[in-house]
Amino acid sequence: MLIAMPVKMNREDPPLTTVFGKAKWFAFADDGGTVEVRENPYAGAGPKTVAWLIENGVDTVITQHIGGNPFMFMKEAGVRLWYPGEGRILVSEALARLREGACEEITVDNIMRFHNH
């Protein structure tokens, strides 16, 4: 499993950001617990950001908000999306919530609750 999360900055254990396609940075976490923050070369372009994530092997996304088009592109590619809750959440906290089953899966039925405003 390779997990991606949009984050506010390039530092160790950064907080998640509420923008998805506009995020300048994404944290990638692998099965071994290694977390790496990478610059999003397509910040501001949701569909290109999604393609970049998929090309990098991402199969799971943890995000607080997401637009309808990026959501649909990822669902079509088989990527699962998870909501970790509101407020300031660090990457380590989001990963712990996913492991503990405390994240809500973002689906076609509930996407409007997580849609960017």
CA distances from 92 to 9, 84, 88, 99, 108 (A): 14, 11, 12, 11, 27
**Residue segments in the chain with a per-residue pLDDT below the cut of 70:** 116-117
Distance of CA 38 to the CA centre of its chain: 13
In this prediction, residue 116 carries a pLDDT of: 59
**pLDDT at 100 (0 to 100):** 97
Q: Report domain 2-113's class.
A: alpha beta
pLDDT value of position 21 = 86
pLDDT at 92: 97
Q: What pTM was estimated for this model as a whole?
A: 0.95
The pLDDT of residue 114: 86
